[in-house]
Amino acid sequence: MSHLNAAKWINDYSDMLYRYALPRVNDAEAAKDLVQETFLAAWRNRENFKGEISEKNWLYTILKNKIIDYYRKASNRLTESLPQFTNKENHFDAEEHWTSSAAPKNWSAENKKLETKEFYEVLNNCRQKLKEIQNAVFSMKYLDGVSSEEICKELNITASNYWVLIHRAKLQLRECLEKNWFLK
Amino acid sequence: MISCKQATQYILKKEEGKLSVKKRFQLWLHLGICSFCKLFMHQSIMINKTVKKSADKIVSVLPESDKKKIRELLEVSI
């Protein structure tokens, strides 16, 4: 890889890597940092690149590992705060039925065109309201289809933590989309 | 009868194929009388598909200033 010049390399791959990282960390600054770290790590190790896989896949592999590390940091911060965080339920009342404000409403506007820039903006804003660890679990599950067992192992969380996180994330996201898109 | 909170948890587990026969039955009973949870079930699946799709639709590019920064970092790095 040493024969490559850095400029060409960045030209060829930086947008692609950025577009991969962005929806997974859902934070532009964090995504930029991850791309930068990926290039640096790859560049420092370029002598070890044997060309068994394509350059592109090699960079993807490095980036994926960086993203997992990023998720792990969020999950380490979580360990102590989870019980407190789960008590902050506001979707259900004392009998565990939907509160009137949180109960799902009919998305009659479901035919509103979804594959639009405007909708994706709303979706991203709603995702940004998720806590980092929720976003980590959410992205692994819904963007990359990682199994729950694998997610628990990677993030070092228990199965019951996992279900609490997914449940809360889905409730929150659903409500946010309803308020800011479907019933708007 | 299970609560709405439980029902929504069951719905998410069911999406992953991780709900026992007994709980599937309890969920089915609940959904028979609860239109809110039924809406939740449909909307949840729709959200899953939408989120997946949204990642492929990203057209953002890394700003030129960041590319420049990385270029400079690589040039000084050994």
pLDDT range class, residue A55, cuts 50, 70, 90? confident
Q: Round to whole Å and give the CA distance between A148 and A150.
A: 5
Residue A113 has pLDDT above 90, yes or no: no
Q: Which of B9, B18, B62 sits opposite A167 (nearest CB)?
A: B9
Mean of the pLDDT values across residues A41-54? Answer: 85
Residue carrying structure tokens 């102590």: A80
What is the rounded CA–CA span in Å between residue A175 and residue A104? 7
pLDDT band at A1 (very low <50, low <70, confident <90, very high): very low
Q: Is the pLDDT of residue A85 over 60?
A: no
Q: How much is the ipTM here?
A: 0.90
Interface mutation vs chain A, best among B8, B33, B64, most A CBs within 10 Å: B8
Given a contact cutoff of 8 angstroms between Cβ atoms, the answer to whether A104 and A178 are in contact is yes
Look at residue A153 and tell me whether its pLDDT is greater than 50.
Answer: yes
- Percentage of chain B with pLDDT > 90? 77
pLDDT at A87 over 50: no
Q: In whole angstroms, give the CA distance from residue A17 to residue A10.
A: 10
**Chain A (68-107) residues lying within 8 Å, Cβ to Cβ, of chain B:** 89, 91-92, 95-98, 103-107
B12 in Cβ contact with A167 (< 8 Å): yes
Range from A76-80, B48-52, B73-77 that averages highest in pLDDT: B48-52
**What is the pTM for the complete model shown?**
0.88
For residues B47 and B56, is the Cβ–Cβ distance under 8 A? no
* pLDDT at A93 (0 to 100): 92
* pLDDT of B59: 82
pLDDT for B2 equals 96
Is residue A128 predicted with pLDDT exceeding 80? yes
Query: Is it the case that residue B15 has pLDDT exceeding 50?
Result: yes
A52: Cα separation from own chain's centroid: 29
For residues A76 and A154, give the distance between their C-alpha atoms in angstroms, rounded to a whole number: 11
pLDDT tens, position by position, B38-67: 999 999 999 999 999 888 888 889 999 999
* Average pLDDT score over residue span A119-140: 92
Best interface-test mutation with A: which of B45, B54, B76 has the largest number of A CBs within 10 A?
B54
* Alpha carbon of residue A119 to chain centroid: 18
Cβ separation of B74 and A43 shorter than 8 Å?
yes
pLDDT for the residue A109: 60
Amino acid A2: pLDDT: 46
